[in-house]
Amino acid sequence: MALGGAGTAQAAGTGSLTLTPGTVSSASGLAVSVTGLSGFSGLPSSVALLLQPGFMSSAKSVSVLCTAGQASSSTCPAASQIGTGSVGISFFGSPTSVPLTAYLGDPLQSGDIASVILSGSLAGTTVAVSGRLFVPAGGGLELLLSGFPNVPVSLDSLAISVQGTHTVTTTTTKTVTKYVWKGKGKHRKKHKVKKKVKKTVKTVYSVITNPSMCAGMWTGTATMNYSSGQNTVPLSATCTP
């Protein structure tokens, strides 16, 4: 979903997408970088990072999710951290890079997979921006960030790297009925025996799971939405079957 503002669309900037590993159906680390942004003043009203259909994500990829209260107070648990990043801004005419920490949180809307919280410090103040992680109508995977602070800066670049898996072990017990023969000759009879059987299943959940098909490249877009227009930068990464 790209929330366009009034005005014309631009394609200023260069984007890169890296998946490690870049093999089909793999739990993967993802890195998105968009640099050389220009043409708009101020921060965008929203940033949409969209991956093509086939990509998946799970809220169970961390052992604990950051709550809305923890996100607003910048106290997300360490176990909810999924990555790092940075944002390049022009602050009163001077270029500045702000380090970011990424956490996985409770969904912001019903039907979403989860939320992603980006936390950083600007001018001595810790700022957290939350975004929706969801499957858009056309399929794929989208992170829609909004609620940026109202500060006199312009966006020059954005980089986010996320990864992480969490293994959940589930043990179930069921009763199985078997028949066994006992005795000899005419005294040989079939007896019913009930036995409890335990089954243990380990399921691995990942922040990013690659598509199950590869035609050489996987694609996406990074869209910055402003009141005066929209800037969309294409993303692509090499994949292998």
Res. 128: pLDDT tops 50: yes
pLDDT digits (tens, 9 = 90+) for 196-236: 888 888 999 999 999 999 999 999 999 999 988 899 999 99
- CA 176 vs. chain centroid, Å, equals 41
Give the per-residue pLDDT at 113: 98
pTM of this structure: 0.84
pLDDT digits (tens, 9 = 90+) for 131-155: 999 999 999 999 999 988 888 888 9
Q: Select from 159, 157, 160 the least CA-distant residue to 43.
A: 157
Give the per-residue pLDDT at 140: 95
Strand order in the sheet with 46-51: 9-10, 229-238, 217-226, 46-51, 141-146, 125-134, 114-122, 94-105, 81-91, 153-162, 29-35, 14-20
Q: For residue 133, which amino acid is it?
A: L
Res. 33: pLDDT tops 70: yes
Task: Provide the CB-side half-sphere exposure for 54 (13 A, CA).
Answer: 16
The per-residue pLDDT of the chain, averaged, comes to 89
Q: Mean pLDDT lowest for which of 51-65, 108-122, 182-196?
A: 182-196
Measured between alpha carbons, how far is 152 from 141 in angstroms, rounded to an integer? 31
Res. 182: pLDDT tops 80: no
Q: What is the DSSP string of 67-92?
A: PHHHHHTT---GGGEEEEEEEEEEET
Task: Provide φ and ψ at 136, rounded to 5°.
Answer: -70, 170
Q: What is the DSSP string of 182-214?
A: ESSGGG-EEEEEEEEEEEEEEEEEES-B--S--
Length of the chain: 241
Alpha carbon dihedral 64, 69, 70, 73, in 10-degree steps, equals: 170
**Structure token digits, residue 113:** 């997979």
Res. 6: pLDDT tops 70: no
